């Protein structure tokens, strides 16, 4: 017999929302205890705004997206975490809407999914990386609901490591007799586990009579022989169970009573203490008598009794069968009605994540050994007489199947019982990335812009921009791709970083050097903004981009890595080309000019496999207004990864699509005239001049000619 997989029961949600959008037609009414009645429209999609939302419901719109549509809208549903499969792509506008309390999204996926399937909602961030928002289960009506604090581009995805309810779909067929003289009439019945109702059961009696459909069927065999009777199920989602078969032997006369065996099956989830006892008999001359005895004192003479036990635990029993010629056989059986339960909070979030597990059990003896397996190779012993809560820390992203196993001896034999698997789904956190700071040097009190991705749509509590030596800056505007800040009065030369807070966890960005200009100071130290490439063997020619290098190399000016000096190929005020010297080791490259030393930028020396640098052949158009799209043609662009950037001068451009030979980008709102360059895998392309022209003014009251 194969193992039994109980059906997944979908979680139920209580909807507390107050405004419904995009409704049409009639709806069914749901009433939650102690709450006002809420009408849910029978539609594919709805949004429920939270109390106090400062947007008009009439301004909210929803649109399902294909991949091409998502690309043209500035996002692509392609950067899901590993082990996730995209099910649905859509956008909710206005995209910049942010709420203090969550809005609720309800939709019916266009792909039909089994009830109880767990789905995950991701927002597509500015980096095009999908950031997890919420999870939910497909309900009986095919819908799923999510909560979100923001609007924008979304992906609904399924974790491929979590089995769907229909994936654990098994059918077991049984016959009331296994052999007998012809004409032999046999009653068959089927028990199934998993699958999505309604389920169709197909029987094949192996005698050429054709297939029969039904959960309980009767068939007569008219010829002597052995027949392999099989049954399989097909559920409402088209899933087909593995085949189950049994041998029926039709003979010329009765076979002596040989043996009886007992199979024990649960009836349904709503009756956890009820079991159905199915006997399998070999031989015997009817009529037959049955004597069942259970260890709790219950007896019956039914052929296949259904019995509800008084409480959880392990029970033994026996059945004795006597046929018409007084032959008799007996068999012992065990009915295991123990239950082990596991819950986890949270079961979905960002790495690193701490999860609190709660273990409970019914019917276990005090001597039982209980182990909680966290699914990551670690486990802990459980003492139910003590504290049932266990906190476990997961450091890395992944899908972890946590489960409880209980073991005890019963009548000299080992008996195991397991909880349902609790899948803990952890993904990488929304780590912000700084691409550049513009201006890269400024006086105290001046406004600068930090450019990057995944800063978040709005500044939440605890989210900061920090200047050296650990001073938090005043934020003027916070956006997912840029932050305007005032250089703090106590700031000094050093690294700037962004802190983002999500689901109670803080994530710090990479560091970017910033130079503070002291009032009246004419000479500024050299400053490195970017290296291209940032790794390679001895002899690699490195392009150093920055400021304050001086128009020419002075006596004593040099570029060093460790104690080695690079061979200078060219020297300009914002660009130096230098060659990694022999015997150089990995370390920070620094520029020394006019007695002052720059910040350091790390370079890895070694025989790395390095892609050819990107090369731009054309930019069309060569002039455009802010917010317009430009096509960048070339080669060696590779595929988009976080850290791939298009620069207009020192300002990153928004990326719509990125392919090996063509990039579609957006002129940044704060961009000015400058060179467009592609930065990919640590290498910077050639620059192509681009001119930013003014936006056309909005004209009202004039007829278009």
Are 529 and 483 in contact by the 8 Å Cβ rule? The answer is no
Average pLDDT over residues 665-676: 87
Q: Binning pLDDT at 50, 70 and 90, where does residue 362 land?
A: very high
Query: Quick one: pLDDT at residue 696?
Result: 59
Average pLDDT over residues 125-152: 88
Q: Alpha helix (H) ranges present in 262-368?
A: none
* Tokens read off for 617: 């052949």
Query: Quick one: pLDDT at residue 108?
Result: 92
Distance CA 311, CA 322 (A): 31
Distance CA 300, CA 287 (A): 17
Residue 636, pLDDT above cutoff 50: yes
Q: Alpha helix (H) ranges present in 330-415?
A: none
Give the residue, 551 or 5, on which the prediction is more confident. Answer: 551
Average pLDDT over residues 342-351: 93
The 3-class secondary structure across 495-509, one letter per residue, is EEEEEEEECCEEEEC
Residues 6+ apart with CB under 8 A from 614: 634, 635, 636, 637, 638, 678, 679, 680, 683, 684, 685
Task: Write b or e for each residue in 56-80: b if 16 or more Cβ atoms lie within 10 A of its Cβ, otherwise e.
Answer: eeeebebeebeeeebbebbbbbbbb
Are 315 and 335 in contact by the 8 Å Cβ rule? The answer is yes
Distance CA 504, CA 460 (A): 11
Q: Binning pLDDT at 50, 70 and 90, where does residue 406 land?
A: very high
Greatest Cα-to-Cα distance within the chain, rounded to the nearest angstrom:
118
Average pLDDT over residues 410-424: 93
Distance CA 622, CA 314 (A): 80
Average pLDDT over residues 212-237: 91
Q: To which residue do tokens 């002129």 refer?
A: 667
Residue 310 backbone zone (phi > 0: left; psi -120 to 50: alpha; other: beta)? alpha
Residues 6+ apart with CB under 8 A from 594: 523, 550, 554, 557
Q: To which residue do tokens 């609790």 refer?
A: 422
Query: Quick one: pLDDT at residue 40?
Result: 42
Distance CA 271, CA 309 (A): 10
DSSP state of 458: S
The residues facing 69 across adjacent strands are: none
Query: Quick one: pLDDT at residue 78?
Result: 62
Closest of 231, 265, 261 to residue 245, by C-alpha? 231
* Tokens read off for 277: 């006892």
Average pLDDT over residues 243-272: 87
Query: Quick one: pLDDT at residue 44?
Result: 80
For a pLDDT cut of 90, what percent of the chain falls above it? 56
Distance CA 506, CA 449 (A): 22
Distance CA 671, CA 692 (A): 7
Are 105 and 49 in contact by the 8 Å Cβ rule? The answer is no
Average pLDDT over residues 658-662: 89
Residues 6+ apart with CB under 8 A from 522: none
Mean pLDDT of the chain: 86
Q: To which residue do tokens 């041998």 refer?
A: 247
Closest of 123, 119, 64, 63 to residue 96, by C-alpha? 123
Distance CA 106, CA 90 (A): 12
Residue 428, pLDDT above cutoff 50: yes
Tens of pLDDT, residue by residue over 14-46, are 222 223 333 333 322 222 233 333 344 445 888
Lowest model confidence (mean pLDDT) among 2-11, 382-391, 575-584: 2-11
Tens of pLDDT, residue by residue over 299-330, are 999 999 999 999 999 999 999 999 999 999 99
Q: Tell me phi and psi for residue 57, to 5 degrees.
A: -55, -30
Q: Binning pLDDT at 50, 70 and 90, where does residue 99 land?
A: confident
For the beta carbon of residue 292, count every other beta carbon within 10 angstroms. 21
Query: Quick one: pLDDT at residue 21?
Result: 35
Domains defined for the chain, CATH in brackets? 19-165 (2.60.220), 339-428 (2.60.40.10), 433-517 (2.60.40.10), 527-605 (2.60.40.10), 615-693 (2.60.40.10)
Average pLDDT over residues 224-243: 87
Q: Tell me phi and psi for residue 656, to 5 degrees.
A: -95, -50
Length of the chain: 705
Q: What is the pTM of this model?
A: 0.73
According to the per-residue pLDDT averaged within each range, which of 235-249, 626-640, 647-661 is highest?
A: 626-640
Are 91 and 71 in contact by the 8 Å Cβ rule? The answer is no
* Strand bridging mode 464-467 / 447-453: unpaired
Q: To which residue do tokens 């000094």 refer?
A: 492
């Amino acid at each position: 017999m194969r193992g039994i997989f109980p059906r997944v029961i979908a979680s139920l949600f209580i909807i507390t929302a107050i405004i419904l959008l995009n409704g049409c037609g009639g709806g069914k009414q749901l009433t939650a205890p102690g709450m006002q009645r809420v009408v849910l429209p029978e539609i594919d999609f709805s949004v429920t705004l939270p109390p106090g939302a400062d947007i008009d419901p009439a301004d909210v719109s929803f649109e399902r997206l294909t991949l091409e549509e998502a690309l043209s809208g500035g996002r692509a549903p392609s950067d899901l975490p590993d082990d996730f499969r995209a099910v649905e792509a859509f956008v909710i506008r206005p995209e910049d809407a942010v709420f203090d309390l969550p809005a609720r999204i309800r939709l019916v996926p266009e792909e039909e999914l089994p009830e109880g399937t767990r789905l995950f909602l991701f927002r597509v961030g500015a980096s095009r990386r999908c950031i997890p928002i919420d999870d939910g289960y497909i309900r009986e009506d095919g819908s799923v609901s999510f909560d979100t604090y923001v609007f924008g581009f979304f992906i609904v995805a399924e974790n491929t490591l979590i089995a769907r309810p229909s994936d654990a779909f098994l059918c077991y067929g049984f016959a009331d007799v296994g052999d007998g003289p012809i004409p032999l009439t046999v009653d068959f019945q089927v028990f199934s586990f998993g699958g999505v109702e309604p389920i169709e059961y197909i029987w094949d009696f192996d005698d050429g009579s054709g297939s029969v459909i039904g959960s309980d069927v009767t068939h007569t065999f008219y010829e002597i022989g052995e027949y392999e009777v099989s049954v399989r199920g097909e559920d409402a989602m088209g899933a087909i169970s593995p085949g189950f078969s049994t041998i029926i032997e039709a003979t010329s006369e009765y076979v002596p009573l040989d043996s009886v065996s007992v199979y024990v099956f649960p009836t349904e989830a709503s009756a956890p203490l009820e079991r159905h006892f199915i006997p399998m008999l070999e031989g015997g001359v009817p009529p037959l008598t049955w004597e069942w005895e259970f260890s709790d004192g219950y007896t019956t003479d039914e052929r296949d009794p259904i019995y509800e036990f008084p409480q959880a635990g392990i029970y033994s029993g026996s059945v004795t069968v006597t046929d018409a010629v007084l032959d008799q056989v007996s068999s012992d059986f065990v009915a295991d009605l123990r239950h082990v339960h596991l819950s986890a909070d949270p079961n979905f979030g960002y790495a690193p994540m701490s999860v609190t597990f709660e273990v409970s059990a019914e019917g276990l003896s005090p001597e039982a050994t209980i182990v909680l397996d966290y699914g990551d190779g670690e486990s802990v012993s459980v003492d139910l007489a003590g504290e049932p809560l266990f906190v476990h820390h997961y450091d890395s992203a992944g899908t972890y199947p946590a489960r409880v196993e209980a073991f005890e001896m019963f009548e000299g034999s080992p008996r195991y019982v397991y909880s349902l698997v609790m899948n803990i789904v952890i993904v990488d956190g929304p780590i912000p990335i700084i691409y550049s700071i513009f201006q890269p040097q400024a006086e105290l009190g001046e406004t600068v812009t930090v450019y990057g991705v995944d800063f978040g749509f709005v500044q939440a509590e605890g989210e900061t921009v920090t200047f050296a030596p650990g001073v938090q800056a005043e934020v003027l505007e916070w956006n997912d791709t840029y932050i305007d800040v005032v250089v703090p009065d106590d700031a000094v030369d050093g690294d700037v970083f962004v802190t983002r807070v999500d689901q109670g966890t803080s994530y710090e960005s990479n560091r970017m050097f910033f130079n503070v200009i002291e009032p009246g100071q004419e000479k500024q130290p050299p400053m490195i903004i970017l290296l291209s490439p940032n790794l390679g063997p001895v002899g690699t020619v490195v392009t150093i981009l920055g400021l304050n290098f001086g128009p020419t190399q002075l006596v004593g000016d040099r570029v060093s890595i460790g104690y080695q000096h690079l061979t200078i190929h060219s020297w300009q005020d914002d660009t130096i080309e230098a060659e990694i010297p022999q015997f150089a080791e990995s370390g920070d490259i620094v520029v020394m000019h006019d007695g002052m030393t720059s910040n350091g930028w790390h370079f890895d020396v070694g025989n790395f496999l390095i892609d050819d640098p990107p090369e731009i052949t054309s930019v069309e158009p060569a002039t455009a207004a802010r917010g317009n799209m430009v096509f960048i043609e070339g080669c060696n662009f590779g595929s988009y990864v976080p850290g791939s950037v298009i620069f207009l001068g020192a300002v990153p451009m928004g990326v719509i699509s990125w392919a090996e030979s063509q990039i579609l980008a957006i002129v940044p709102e704060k961009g000015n005239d400058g060179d467009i360059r592609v930065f990919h895998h640590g290498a910077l392309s050639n620059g192509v001049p681009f001119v930013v022209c003014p936006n056309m003014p909005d004209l009202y009251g004039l007829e278009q000619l």
